Amino acid sequence: KHNKNFRDNSIPKECTEGVQRAIGKPSGSMAITRKIKKNNYAIITIAISKIGGIITMPSELERFNERMQAFFAPLWPGEEKPLVLGEGCGDRPPVMLIGEAPGEQEAMSGRPFVGKAGKNLDGFLTVLQLNREDIYISNVVKIRPTKVSEKGRVSNRTPNREELALFTPYLLEEILLVQPKMLVTLGNTALHALLGAKSTIGACHGQVLTAHVQTDKRAGDFPLFALYHPASIIYNQKLKDVYQADLERLHSVLAAQ
């Protein structure tokens, strides 16, 4: 429909075969083209899911990301505030890791948990015996919250109320699209976004809790495992040990699932 130059011979052979298999019609691109000209999207969609990779259409997650970009792009005019989107396995991953917000490295690269945070993530993945691409990685707030010192030095800060109110509904939608088998929150910000501010990391860490995630269209309950944020344990050996013990517990929980 969108490609005016669409011609019979522009359809790859694998594609017509895939469509043929999907709709059970005789082979030959004419039959397929006629179907397509009738704008029969259901058939096209079935065919695409069968032959995956030859034609790519935006997934629900991609459309969600586009919607989020369109919403946030005009919000901070004149400020460099690129969105750092979630990434990884977006279809029922064993873990959806949720951090607070991107830092400098993340904002520069456009990817969550790179740089120093990426090193922490490597340790996390090693204990869980997972690869980065096996899980889905995101943040509550998807811009880098910053403050500027009197000397003009820019540094990270905790997201403020306005940022949390703007981004949390998108996080809930993202979770419902990704459908992770386990939510893993890092620190209080992510925990509060999902369980409310009364649930503190001190009381909740290392336990499997339940997050009820609801938007105006969908809802679902997800197991949630709360961890301290690695950034908060750097200078505290006791918390480091607690974090490590929690991580090992999470490994056992995932292995038993």
The minimum distance between CB 118 and ligand URA, in angstroms, equals 8
The minimum distance between CB 30 and ligand URA, in angstroms, equals 51
Strand partners, 155: 147
The minimum distance between CB 143 and ligand URA, in angstroms, equals 11
Indicate the pairing of strand 154-156 with strand 146-148: antiparallel
The minimum distance between CB 115 and ligand URA, in angstroms, equals 8
Question: CA-CA distances (angstroms) from residue 1 to 5, 13, 44, 101, 154?
Answer: 10, 19, 11, 39, 48
Please give the full DSSP string across 187-251, using - where no structure is assigned.
Answer: HHHHHHHHH-TTS-HHHHBTSEEEEEEE-SS-EEEEEEEEE--HHHHTT-HHHHHHHHHHHHHHH
Q: Which of residues 172 and 186 has its CB atom nearest to ligand URA in the complex?
A: 186
The minimum distance between CB 21 and ligand URA, in angstroms, equals 42
Query: Rounded to whole angstroms, how far apart are CA atoms 161 and 165?
Result: 6
Q: Which of residues 22 and 117 has its CB atom nearest to ligand URA in the complex?
A: 117
- Region class of 129: left (phi > 0), else alpha (psi between -120 and 50), else beta: left
Query: Rounded to whole angstroms, how far apart are CA atoms 174 and 7?
Result: 37
Q: How many CA atoms lie within 13 A of 97 on its CB side?
A: 30
Please give the residue ranges that form the binding site for ligand URA (CB under 6 A).
99-103, 106, 112-113, 117, 139, 186
Q: Which of residues 106 and 163 has its CB atom nearest to ligand URA in the complex?
A: 106
Q: Which of residues 54 and 108 has its CB atom nearest to ligand URA in the complex?
A: 108
Residue of this chain nearest to ligand URA (CB atom):
99
Query: Rounded to whole angstroms, how far apart are CA atoms 185 and 193?
Result: 10
Q: Which of residues 117 and 175 has its CB atom nearest to ligand URA in the complex?
A: 117
The minimum distance between CB 158 and ligand URA, in angstroms, equals 10
Whether 70 contacts 83, CB under 8 Å: no
Helices (H), 73-160: 104-109, 115-128
The minimum distance between CB 250 and ligand URA, in angstroms, equals 17
Q: Which of residues 48 and 250 has its CB atom nearest to ligand URA in the complex?
A: 250
Q: Which of residues 22 and 194 has its CB atom nearest to ligand URA in the complex?
A: 194
Whether 25 contacts 34, CB under 8 Å: no
